[in-house]
Structure 1
């Protein structure tokens, strides 16, 4: 097996486990806080928000820092640091004696983040160029499915094995990811001999910083759209369902439906982006996703909502790999870690912002408006992307294709000679 394929397999597993570990906290957190001695409902809700959000905020702050470290000393050391750190910290959450220890551990989880950023950078820089889109598409399925399946897995394990076991299992799995990374990930990394660049100097090295900013904004909006439904899904399912039983299970299934279809579609859309250009896949995916959000406001039962969420996953599956492919295309390898780190910060901020945004809109305007406003944001993002980046990226793709053809012709000429 080629080294880049083996790296992809290990990174996929590690990314999936990491995202499950980050997101599985949502459905069990109120119960765990109650178990730790907080019984007032208002206090539980307030502390749950702090515990849930603090990890995303600190992850957003530290992702660029770890991206900088990856550019300086290599991506594999960052994978080892993050996976071992996650194993210890998340496993320790199951041993917390009070909410203050839990909050502290969640903060530490945000600080040691960076596994996903290092995986994206490693796969983007070590994979053969003609397979980069496909590889990033495969890797994105781990991130999306882990984020969306995490709440369902956490809630299910709670019923079967208890709250603490959820944390212990995540710790064990991330330690397995650490061992797999240590033994099987290979990286050809040559550190830059030049002095370390400041953030301003990094931006000056970019061929077109406006393209990078467009990708960051799209990453933020995409995650905001994903997570806007998270705080209201149980309430919405309760309104749609005549049967009050199994609401939590049905909510988890609805939320996870988009993750399942993303797993199916992302590798195929990654291959398509290698052929026609990721910017085309990205534009179409933004438009389709924006449209599919609208009928979710008019469903009559949970199964209709689940079907639409499943279709949404097919649309959004083309977004994450396309964003990463385009970032790779317009970013020099020497600063790729920092750029991907900033992009991961946009993801984390979108995840946190989406959770807050969805709850606030539902509380003030009604649940249906969450879908209308999210749809509008995606469609506006599509218009902005088309105006600011689409034409430029088409020109870059054409130039790259011409260069590939010329290189291929030169190779053929050399063989004939």
Structure 2
């Protein structure tokens, strides 16, 4: 088996488990906070929001720093640091004696994360050019699937193994990711630049600045779109029918439908990107995703919503990989880790902003408007991508740069 394929398999598993570890706590958190001594409903909600959101905010701050470390010391050491660190921190959450220790551990989790940044950089720099689109697309399914399936997995583990064991099981899986990374990931690393120290110097080395900013914004909006419905999905499903049993299960399946579709479609769209160009797949996927969001506001039963969420996952599968492919092509290899770190920061901020947006729009205008607003954001982004990415790459000047 080629080294790039073996690296891809190990990184896929590690990123999937990391995604689960970041998101599986969502349905567990309120129950666990109550379990460790908080009884007032308002305080449970307040502490749950802080504990869930703080990991993503801190991760957004530290991702570029960890990306710089990956450029300086190599990507495999960063994979080992992140996987072992998360194994210890997530496992320790099961022993948290009070909510303050839990929040502290969630904050520490955000600081030591970076597995996804290092994996993306490793695959981008170690994979042959002809297979880069397929490899990055396949890798993107791990993070998205882990994040989207995480709440469903967390709920299942609570029901069958208990709240504390959710943390122990997830920590054990991260420890397994550490062991497989140590044994099977191979990297040929040569530090290419010893003088780039700060963001200003990094910025001067980026040849296509407008294109890079557009990629950051597109990744941010995509993540906002994927997570804007998370706070309101269960409520929305209950509004669709008055006599529905197993609401939580159906909500979990509906939310996870996007992740399952993404796993199916992303590698295929990655190969298509290698053939016809990532900018074309990105534009079509953005337009399709924006359009598919709109009818979700007008469904009459949960099964229609589930089908549309599945179709959304098929289109979203063409977005994260194309962002990574284009960033790889327009970024000098000496600063690849740092630029991917900023991309991951945009994604973490998108998770947080999406949850805030969905909750606020639903509170002010109603749940249906969350889908309309999110669809409009994607369509506006599609227009920006058409002028800032598609037309530029079609021009001979930029085309020669990215090829």
TM-score by length of 1: 0.95
Match of 1:220 in 2: 220
Q: Distance in 2 between matches of 1:240 and 1:22?
A: 30
Measure the CA separation in 1 of the matches of 2:116 and 2:320: 13
**Is 1:322 the counterpart of 2:322 in the alignment?**
yes
* SS of the residue 1:186 aligns to: coil
Range that drifts further, 184-193 or 67-76: 184-193
CA contact (8 A) 2:330 2:401 kept: no
Q: What does residue range 80-91 of structure 1 map to in structure 2 within 5 Å?
A: 80-91=80-91
State how far apart, in whole Å, the 2-side matches of 1:213 and 1:397 are: 15
Give the distance between the partners of 1:267 and 1:388, measured in 2 at CA.
25
The aligned residue for residue 412 of structure 1 is: none
Mapped partners of 1:154, 1:241: distance in 2: 26
Residues 220 and 105 (structure 1), Cα distance of their counterparts in 2 relative to 1, 3 Å cut: same
Per-residue deviation, 1:197? 3.1
Residues 1:366 and 2:366 are matched in the alignment: yes
Q: Which residue of 2 aligns with 1:66?
A: 66
For residues 337-392 of structure 1, the C-alpha deviation after alignment (integer angstroms, 9 at most, x for no partner) is 00000000000000011011100110011111101110000000000111112122
In structure 1, the partner of 2:234 is: 234
Q: What corresponds to 1:333 in structure 2?
A: 333
SS at 1:300 equivalent: coil
> Does the aligned pair in 2 maintain the 1:277–1:397 contact within 8 Å?
no
Cα contact 1:233–1:251 (8 A) shared by 2: yes
Q: Which residue of 2 aligns with 1:307?
A: 307
Q: How does 1:245-394 map to 2 (within 5 A)?
A: 245-394=245-394
Q: Distance in 1 between matches of 2:193 and 2:283?
A: 39
Alignment: residue pair count: 402
CA distance in 2 between partners of 1:324 and 1:382 (Å): 17
Q: Which has the larger radius of gyration?
A: 1
Cα RMSD over matched residues? 1.2
1:35-54 → structure 2 map (5 Å cutoff): 35-54=35-54
Check whether the contact 1:8–1:135 (CA below 8 A) recurs between aligned residues: yes
Bigger mean CA offset, 233-242 vs 6-15 = 233-242
Higher mean displacement: 285-294 or 34-43: 34-43
- Deviation of residue 244 (structure 1)? 4.6
Asked if 2 retains the 8 angstrom alpha-carbon contact of 1:232 and 1:367, the reply is yes
* 1:241 shift after superposition: 3.0
Contact 2:193 2:334 in 1 (8 A): no
Structure 1 stretches lacking a partner, 5+ long = 404-417
Residue in structure 1 matched with residue 400 of structure 2 by the alignment: 399
Q: Distance in 2 between matches of 1:196 and 1:208?
A: 18
Cα separation, 1, equivalents of 2:229 and 2:36? 28
CA distance in 2, matches of 1:43, 1:393: 51
Give distance in 2, aligned partners of 1:9 and 1:228: 30
Q: Secondary structure at the match of 1:212?
A: helix
Whether contact under 8 Å (1:57, 1:349) holds in the other structure is yes
- Deviation of residue 397 (structure 1)? 7.2
Where do 5+ consecutive residues of structure 2 fail to align? none
Farther-moved stretch of structure 1 (196-205 vs 63-72): 196-205
- Give the corresponding residue for 2:125: 125
> Is the contact made by 1:89 and 1:108 (CA closer than 8 Å) also made in structure 2?
yes
Following TM superposition, by how much is the alpha carbon of 1:398 offset from its aligned partner in structure 2, in angstroms?
4.3
Partner secondary structure for residue 318 of structure 1: coil
Do the aligned partners of residues 243 and 159 (structure 1) sit closer, same or farther apart at CA in structure 2, a change above 3 Å counting? farther
* CA–CA distance in structure 2, aligned partners of residues 329 and 391 of structure 1: 17
Report SS of the residue matched to 2:242.
coil
1:240 offset after TM fit, Å?
1.4
Question: In 2, distance between residues paired with 1:247 and 1:39?
Answer: 25
Q: TM-score, normalised by structure 2?
A: 0.98
